[in-house]
Structure 1
Amino acid sequence: MYDNSIAYTKRNAPVSRSSFVFLALFALWWALLFVFYHFPSIDLVVAKSVFTATPCASTAIPNEVCGVFDLAKNPIFEIVRDVTLALPYIAIVVLIAILISSWRKYGTGWRTLKTDRYIAALISLAIGCGLIVNTLLKSYSGRPRPRSTDLFGGSLDFVQAGSFAGRCLGNCSFVSGEASSGGWLLCLVLLLPPRLRFPLGIPLAVVSIMMPMMRVMTGAHYLSDAVLGWLLSLVVFAAAIAVIDLLRSGTSARS
């Protein structure tokens, strides 16, 4: 006899898994923010490790700190950064081209589990990197970048991750936009066909990790900005997958 309860469980299993992944990543993001907020020395120790102090030209300001982040003007870093910044745009074009091709080929039946994953990737990029990171957090968090704080040759006070008490007025440090782009690139590994996950997935993973690391090493962001920005893209991508799976499950149940 056909067991409807078994069929229902199997049909909803992907929704449960995707929702669990989202909730786990969401909880991890807040846990890391809690750690960075209450232990700001983590950010300071990492930033100091890539900062070289130099004698100040003037001693008019008491306790003034002068110096440079040695890799900030490294030509190799600048070239690598330019290349990595172009990758998300290339990925967007490829994903949109695949979706258009699928729609033209299959018509009303173009929506599949695979194409929905591509849609989730584009939605997560727009919401995560576009809206949450670059439009909201970087505009209103107020956290100065390391090179802008008085601890590293700047003029603004240091504030810990998650504090909105800083005096940065725009394009602030919390969180890293490029790190969030790197996190999004890692999500694309899941969309690759199995035969391409090794030749393309490994380079994508390396680039994904390099992007936030370079921002920390050049004094553009604190470690917390990079880690939380990178992880935020994974959280939003997982959320998009969970929502689409939920909608697909509801459609299947009605049919």
Structure 2
Amino acid sequence: MRRPAATWMFTCCMTSRVIELRVASVVFALLAILFVAFPEIDLAASRVFYDDGKWAFSGGNWPLFELIYRGTPRVGQALLVILLGGLLLGGIKRLRWLHARRTTFGFLLAAALLGPVLLVDATLKDGWHRARPATVAQFGGPFKFTPAFVPTNQCEKNCSFVSGHVATAAFVMAFGWLGAPAVRRRWLLASLAAGTLLAVVRMTAGGHFLSDTIFAWFATYFSLWLTEWVFRRLKWLPPSEK
């Protein structure tokens, strides 16, 4: 007996997503090995934006970059408020549009808290203590450069590894996370584009190394996978089919 078309499409979608996760995991592992084995890549990438004792973006000399830098955290904070509001209002059955999407609001809120907030800001940035490019000796600062993934003591709080701005920008992918394959791909591409833009903004100011920005994107990506897994285990989302 043939399975219904909807079931077949769901199964195919999940299969392609599992392949995507495996590919992303391999890419992550290879990049991690690369940056740990050859940490000079980070210094070389940062040196592109550093000349004659100054960073390319400094002192507000690029108004657009300044706007993006200042605005990104505020957009992230506003998004958390909107998602929380949508989740709470979604409990009111009379608000049909919100009520029908309360699980989606819950998923997005949980993913945002797990990824950019808890994993990136509270754990990695405050736990790895990696000095920012502008503060390491190679660029005139007082602190020691350390490779990605190597815990150190060169920064006290709100440190370099990984980039909170890029993690926030990467969260764009969440809006298509549970969608059809074509929708999901578009949002993943949008996430890569947004993450790249924020990576340039932060690197040109000496705020982050290249590895900080790359692994910030992966932090958000894997956090979304973990959030989805939890939601499916709790049956807040339909279980995935093998």
Relative to the length of structure 2, the TM-score reads 0.77
Q: CA deviation at 1:36?
A: 1.1
Summarize the Cα distance change of 1:143–1:28 in structure 2 as closer, same or farther, 3 Å threshold: same
Q: Equivalent residues in 2 for 1:111-190 (5 A)?
A: 115-190=102-177
For 1:33 and 1:252, the matched residues in 2 are separated by: 31
- Provide the residue aligned with 1:57 in structure 2: none
Aligned CA-pair RMSD? 3.6
- Asked if the contact 2:35/2:147 (under 8 Å) is kept, the reply is yes
For 1:237 and 1:166, the matched residues in 2 are separated by: 29
- Provide the residue aligned with 1:221 in structure 2: 208
Supply the AA of the counterpart residue of 1:219. G
Supply the AA of the counterpart residue of 1:49. V
Summarize the Cα distance change of 1:106–1:210 in structure 2 as closer, same or farther, 3 Å threshold: same
- Asked if the contact 1:52/1:70 (under 8 Å) is kept, the reply is yes
- Asked if the contact 2:57/2:205 (under 8 Å) is kept, the reply is yes
For 1:26 and 1:111, the matched residues in 2 are separated by: 35
If you compute each CA radius of gyration, which structure gives the higher value, 1 or 2? 1
Supply the AA of the counterpart residue of 2:66. E
Partner SS, residue 118 of structure 1? helix
For 1:214 and 1:90, the matched residues in 2 are separated by: 21
Q: CA deviation at 1:117?
A: 3.4
Residue 79 in structure 1 maps to residue 67 in structure 2:
yes
**Alignment length, in residue pairs?**
229
Greater RCO, CA 8 A, separation 6+: 1
For 2:188 and 2:216, the matched residues in 1 are separated by: 21
For 1:126 and 1:116, the matched residues in 2 are separated by: 15
Relative to the length of structure 1, the TM-score reads 0.74
For 1:17 and 1:168, the matched residues in 2 are separated by: 41
Match of 2:92 among 90, 98, 104: 104
**CA distances 1:79-104 after superposition (whole Å, capped 9, x unpaired):** 22222222222222332333333320
Partner SS, residue 34 of structure 1? helix
- Provide the residue aligned with 1:70 in structure 2: 56
For 2:197 and 2:22, the matched residues in 1 are separated by: 26
**CA distances 1:107-153 after superposition (whole Å, capped 9, x unpaired):** 9xx886x5433322211211111221111211121211101100001
- Provide the residue aligned with 2:43 in structure 1: 44
For 2:129 and 2:237, the matched residues in 1 are separated by: 41
Q: Equivalent residues in 2 for 1:14-25 (5 A)?
A: 21-25=20-24
Q: CA deviation at 1:192?
A: 8.5
Supply the AA of the counterpart residue of 1:42. I
For 2:189 and 2:149, the matched residues in 1 are separated by: 32
Summarize the Cα distance change of 1:204–1:47 in structure 2 as closer, same or farther, 3 Å threshold: closer
Supply the AA of the counterpart residue of 2:216. G
- Asked if the contact 2:203/2:209 (under 8 Å) is kept, the reply is yes
* Structure 1 outlier segments of 4+, above 4 Å: 14-24, 189-193, 200-206, 249-253
For 1:27 and 1:201, the matched residues in 2 are separated by: 17
- Provide the residue aligned with 2:27 in structure 1: 28
**CA distances 1:211-252 after superposition (whole Å, capped 9, x unpaired):** 222111111000000110122101101221233234338987
Q: CA deviation at 1:157?
A: 1.5
What percentage of residue pairs aligned between the two structures are identical? Answer: 21
Structure 1 portions without partners, runs of 5+: 54-66
